[in-house]
Structure 1
Amino acid sequence: MRVKGESVFGDFAYVPVDIKTGSGLEENDWGADRPNQAYMAQMNFYAFLLEDVIQRPVREGYIFNARKQFIKYKLSPHGDALQNVLTKIKKMTSGFSEKCEPVISSGCGLCPWQSSCRTWAEKKNDLTLLFYLGEKMKYGFYEIGIYSIEELATVDLAKLLPQIESAKRKKFFYSSVGDNLIKSLITRAQLYLQEKNGDSANAYIIRKKPNFPKTKKEIHYDIEDDPLGEFVYMHGFWIIEKNKDSYYHAITATREKTEKKIAEKLWDFFAENKGVPIYHYAPHEKNICKKLMEKYNLKKDIYDSVFGPDGSAIDLYQWIVENTDWPLTSYSLKAIAKYTGFNWSADDAGGANSIAWYYDYLDGNDAMIDKILIYNKEDCMATAHLKKWFENKAL
């Protein structure tokens, strides 16, 4: 995009602009908005190339998003983030393989190389098969001399911790990595080997008995939405009441323009069930409801009654991460629920497919809405299954 300034072309310059279906923003670990980091990497690369053309620094760019908004990005094309990526790419293209191995993560789900990388990782007992052990930590362990799950499972914690502190000074571990996380990773390595050797029935650890509220009614909540189009099309609930049959309730957008209407119905539902425990899995429901509140000027006191500091919402994912260990790469709802015996009826059940089904429905395939309702219902039921499973196992 042409802007005021000076460049090799005269009294004007250029900045990079990219069109994206997403908002251009994402949430950080504290729920605050920040530039989408994948988009940021692209924009920095555009700026890096553009500087060579216009012969002047490029320090800003814009994302034109699905809401027809320009989101300004502050760019650092010569910063460590981009330069590290470029260095890695150059090494890979030159045949240099050190520290260019697959890294198994939550981002692998839709990648066509997933099966190949997973096969390689399982053959090598790669460290990133353990939950929360990512690329930076993997090469941190390499720096120390730990190259596999077997080696991590048998390491002496007392000797390992000083080595990690030394590796941190070389930027191999995040400074926030603490002793408890390292201890959990060792435990997860041991559980992974235990499960791999055939003892899957006992390959988990529950460190703390759950203290879920004892009530006559509880609700299990799951959202279906398109994060790129920033559109919420379903709020689903599995409702359990004492001495009554459990049942499913859904609030569904029949067309894209009805998002506001179902958000208002959701707020009515929250008001009608004030004080009733509402279980959800991961912060997605909390964050989406906050955005809906701000987008449609919904009552904050109702939001706070559910998701505020003293609200009725209970995040099962947070409890699981803080109090349990598993031999799994992912602690997603599907990973944990399937491991504990819950199954979905559709082989292709998943969030990405739910979005595709919904747009098929909007295009006239009415049967798709029933498929989404079943999938959402089973997600809600999976949360209820986990809550009950942990209560029974901790007795």
Structure 2
Amino acid sequence: MKCNKSKPINDHLLRSWIRCRRKAWLDIYGDKQKKLWTAHSTLQLNHQIDCFHNLSQKSYGIGIQACEEGKNIAYGVRIKYPLIKNRIIKANLPILRKTSGESIWGNYAYQPILARQGKKITREHKLTLAMTSLLVNNLQKFQVQKGLILHKENKVLKVEKIKLSDNINTDLIGSLLNLEKDIESRNPPPITSNRKKCTICSWRKDCDAVAIKEGRLSEVSGIGEKRELLLNKIGINNIEELAKIKHYKLKEKLEVFGTQHGDISKQIILQSQSRSTNRAIKLNPEIELNNLKKAKGLYIYDIESDPDIKHDFLHGFIRLPKNIKNEISLEQTKYSPLLNLEKNTESFLWKRITKKLSINPDYPIIHYGETEPISLLKLGLRQGANPHEIEELKKRFIDIHLLIREYWCLPVRNYGLKSIAEWIGFEWKQSNADGARALLWWRQWKKSRKINKMYSRNLNSIFEYNRDDCIATLMIAKWLIDH
């Protein structure tokens, strides 16, 4: 691989590198045909535009000319400068805000602004803000001490001031120098041990293939970044080595670092054995599952949510009017999507859900993960359901995720719905669809439904995706019964 020593470093590349060193390298040299589109980047951009729109003032302009004219807001300012030796640093700043100071343009200056998603300010936010600040300070010949980070929570814009300290700037320069070393290398950096980050990365399939080929310990459920380092310290560097070690020996070695690591030794050995042989290992041979086997029928339940405003906008149900041991015809399963357009319409939603579930009060409600029962029980409490009603509803829930974890060790990296369903052979009708994409469809549809029909098809896409989630849950339950 020919390295590119002349390519400028920009704010996008820095953000990629902070998230994952390998991602930054692949952004330059990776095969673009292997790069996946993800909804997260579009959601982030939409969030940024929404935040900036709320901050906008009447006096604004475009580019450096806006700064020269002393506008309150300057959009789209492009800057480049060699912050580190022999390497140009570029940034396309979406927005700057006028503040007090003494710049080359007059008795005012500009401070950088970022918009963030997530619950807290991260190192990525601080270093990106620091880089744009150093570039702006060099342009205006005045040092601004603080930058702004915008965040919308429950539709309210919050503005946080971040002090641009010497420590942050030192961390930034060190990061830029390390980033420069990585992108000058002919070989990509190793795959990150923290594979949770990979779920929203556009290079995840490329890295998954490499990780499986190399037998990386990060492919084993229960092994994160810290635990992989501990295993490396005791001489275990891949799945094959972990699968061969005796449980008592691993427990003894790991307990040096804490009893919690020793306690999980048996689990990760079994998981590595399942992964290396690509076969399922039954943990409990006495598995009965009578509550599933004896049920005359089932409800399958899955929700879609907007986490930024804590709004469950879709409650999807499938009613299976037969015993799960019988042959299931997916074409004949009836799917019922119950939309909750606004948070203040929950009363009507609760009535619809309880009416649906009361048709067959003896049917269990199966779901995957803890989100669905927590959401529905809280909804009931908000609508004044009595304690007996809540308790009876709680008894009907069966968490298929918990049953899988309790009775089986499967050759998967994680036990999420998609991983397990795909392993047993289920395929979603829409390729590359996930919860983030469903959220994007929802926001697009909600914004446009009163204006035009451009995104009207998105509502059907959400329904189809949610129906597939319900069917995937059903298929995993069916697999449990059959095995």
TM-score, normalised to structure 1's length? 0.69
> Deviation digits for residues 122-159 of structure 1, max 9, x if unmatched?
23210011122111111110111100001001012211
Distance apart, 1:355 and its partner CA? 2.0
Q: How does 1:211-360 map to 2 (within 5 A)?
A: 211-213=289-291, 214-242=294-322, 246-253=333-340, 257-261=341-345, 264-266=348-350, 268-270=352-354, 272-273=357-358, 276-289=363-376, 292=379, 297-299=382-384, 301=386, 305=390, 311-360=395-444
Letter in 2 for 1:187: L
Partner of 1:184: 267
Distance apart, 1:251 and its partner CA? 0.3
Distance in 2 (CA, whole Å) between partners of 1:47 and 1:303 is: 53
Structure 1: runs of 5 or more not aligned:
1-15, 26-34, 169-174, 196-201
Larger radius of gyration: 2
The 1:191/1:367 distance shift into structure 2, 3 A limit, reads same
Contact 2:151 2:159 in 1 (8 A): yes
Letter in 2 for 1:260: N
> Deviation digits for residues 222-264 of structure 1, max 9, x if unmatched?
01123235432211011122489642211024xxx53432564
The 1:112/1:382 distance shift into structure 2, 3 A limit, reads closer
Query: Paired residue for 1:370, among 457, 460, 466?
Result: 460
Query: Paired residue for 2:201, among 97, 111, 127?
Result: 111
Partner of 2:10: none
The 1:110/1:64 distance shift into structure 2, 3 A limit, reads closer
Letter in 1 for 2:312: V
Letter in 2 for 1:326: L
Distance in 2 (CA, whole Å) between partners of 1:91 and 1:249 is: 53
Distance apart, 1:78 and its partner CA? 12
Contact 2:346 2:379 in 1 (8 A): no
Distance in 1 (CA, whole Å) between partners of 2:388 and 2:432 is: 33
Partner of 2:230: 140
Letter in 1 for 2:443: Y
Secondary structure in 1 matching 2:406: helix
The 1:387/1:115 distance shift into structure 2, 3 A limit, reads closer
Partner of 2:38: none
Secondary structure in 1 matching 2:305: strand
Distance apart, 1:387 and its partner CA? 1.2
Letter in 1 for 2:314: M
Contact 2:298 2:322 in 1 (8 A): no
Distance apart, 1:293 and its partner CA? 6.0
Secondary structure in 2 matching 1:234: strand
The 1:338/1:162 distance shift into structure 2, 3 A limit, reads same
Distance apart, 1:105 and its partner CA? 2.4
Structure 2: runs of 5 or more not aligned:
1-111, 134-142, 325-331
Partner of 2:105: none
Secondary structure in 2 matching 1:376: helix
Partner of 1:10: none
Q: Percent identity?
A: 23
Contact 1:252 1:262 in 2 (8 A): no
Q: How does 1:77-88 map to 2 (within 5 A)?
A: none
